[in-house]
Amino acid sequence: MAAAPGLAWVTHPRHLPAAPAGRVVVVDVAFAAGAQWKSKTKKVIDALGERLVLWIDHHEHKEGWAQYRDDARFVLVPNKVAHGSPELVTRERVLAAGPVDVIMAHADFDGVVAAAKWLKGGVEPWPGADEDARAVDSPGRGHALTERGARFAYAFDEASVAYKQAREHALLTKVTLAMASGESDLGLDEELDGLAKAARASEQAARARAAREGELAAPGVFLVKVDERPDNRTRRNLLVYAEERALIGALLEPDPQGGHWLIATTFDERLDLSEVEGFEGGRSDYRFARAHAGGGEQIAALAAYARRFA
Query: What pLDDT does residue 258 have?
Result: 86
Q: What is the domain-level CATH number for residue 219? A: 3.10.310.40
Say if residue 228 is in the same domain as residue 141: no
Say if residue 40 is in the same domain as residue 168: yes
Mean pLDDT computed over 72-76 = 97
Per-residue pLDDT band for 13 (boundaries 50, 70, 90) equals very high
What residue numbers bound the domain in which 269 lies? 214-307
Say if residue 186 is in the same domain as residue 219: no
Say if residue 13 is in the same domain as residue 70: yes
Of 145, 161, 193, which closes a domain? 193
Say if residue 180 is in the same domain as residue 238: no
- Is residue 52 one of the residues assigned to a domain? yes
Say if residue 159 is in the same domain as residue 23: yes
CA 203 to CA 209: how far, in whole Å?
10
CA 181 to CA 109: how far, in whole Å?
17
- Is residue 206 one of the residues assigned to a domain? no
Query: What pLDDT does residue 256 have?
Result: 85
- Is residue 58 one of the residues assigned to a domain? yes
Strand pairing partners for 7? 103
Query: What pLDDT does residue 2 have?
Result: 58
Q: Which are the contacts of 49, defined by CB distance < 8 A and separation ≥ 6?
A: none
**1 pLDDT above the threshold of 80:** no
Per-residue pLDDT band for 127 (boundaries 50, 70, 90) equals very high
Say if residue 148 is in the same domain as residue 252: no
CA 164 to CA 200: how far, in whole Å?
20
Q: Which of 91, 74, 95, 98 is nearest to 23 (CA)?
A: 98
Say if residue 187 is in the same domain as residue 226: no
Say if residue 108 is in the same domain as residue 45: yes
Q: DSSP characters for 158-185?
A: HHHHHS-HHHHHHHHHHHHHHHHHT---
Say if residue 170 is in the same domain as residue 43: yes
Residue 223's identity, in one-letter code, is L
How many C-beta neighbours within 10 Å does residue 278 have?
15
Say if residue 188 is in the same domain as residue 219: no
Kindly report, residue by residue over 217-241, the tens digit of the pLDDT.
999 999 999 999 998 889 999 999 9
Cα separations (Å) of 206 from 122, 157, 299? 36, 13, 22
Mean pLDDT computed over 257-286 = 89
Element (H, E) at 135: helix 129-137
